[in-house]
Structure 1
């Protein structure tokens, strides 16, 4: 079963908020969900003054810490998405935030009308998720009389949700994953 779904969108489009809501729903269903997040700006995951931070700052190329409840690994390199997906293969579902050019089914977050151009840059789109404050819903309603979705390239059909329809989005993801 292909268990990977990407959530793509521009910065501040609501990707992390959506994923957090979905993870809560999936956990309530008894599913183990892994999340892989892409950060093109860099991040600092270790807290200053911890042992792992000190070891990394001393020059360790990789550090790991584990306890009976948690494991964390920090490597001083970018890890390819495929490698991360393989590491998480035992989970019921893997949600990927970002990695726009990867080849997995995508849910695309649209925050404002200008975000629509992102659709033309991506492949594998299976659903659009529009924030109610984006003005996109009004555009869609005003042009829906044309017979096709005005936000998509000619001939492309995908599911469409409002960002607050978490239960429906979760159901859609599970049905899509099972169909693969």
Structure 2
């Protein structure tokens, strides 16, 4: 069921090896099981390779194309040789119920902040922190944290809290 309104956007932010990708994948699976349509976006601090050498789209990019699009009966992709702002990426996801964004820390969307250690506490100063998921050794003073606090492996608790944000989109 497509969302007639804008999708809910939730950023999952944390420092390297805090569990962002694992959290995003677990929440995606849980949301899909419940019947939601889910988009995902990731910010990569390094250069990445998405296309497989030898494929036609790889050949297009290798030949120097600045942007390459491919579509089949079941999926589509766009490869661009320039960074895209999150807003441009989200423009391709208007048809989903929720978009889970990995990274893009400085954006202003609601955030689930992953805390692995006390050194991660500066993340709590980011705009729009609505919940945290902490590793056992990341004990912060409760007054520093948003009201919605979870252990890192409490996927069901985080999912249940996310459902409250998704209430206008009943499944």
1:161 and 2:166 aligned: no
User: 2:62 aligns to what?
Assistant: 57
Partner Cα distance (1:86, 1:58) in 2: 27
Task: Tell me, yes or no, if the aligned pair for 1:38 and 1:99 is still in contact at 8 Å.
Answer: yes
- If the length of structure 2 is used for normalisation, what is the TM-score? 0.89
After superposition, the Cα gap between the structure-2 partners of 1:157 and 1:110, relative to the gap in structure 1 and judged at 3 Å, is closer
User: 2:113 aligns to what?
Assistant: 108
Of the three residues 147, 170, 174, the one matched with 2:159 is 170
**Structure 2 stretches lacking a partner, 5+ long:** none
**Structure 1 stretches lacking a partner, 5+ long:** 144-148
Q: If you compute each CA radius of gyration, which structure gives the higher value, 1 or 2? A: 1
Partner Cα distance (1:125, 1:113) in 2: 17
Shift of 1:82: 1.1
Partner Cα distance (1:108, 1:100) in 2: 10
- If the length of structure 1 is used for normalisation, what is the TM-score? 0.84
Q: 1:27 aligns to what SS in structure 2? A: helix
Equivalent pairs, count = 163
Shift of 1:104: 0.4
Partner Cα distance (1:9, 1:53) in 2: 32
Q: Which runs of 4+ in 1 moved over 2 A?
A: 176-179
RMSD between aligned residues: 1.6
User: 2:129 aligns to what?
Assistant: 125
Partner Cα distance (2:167, 2:45) in 1: 31
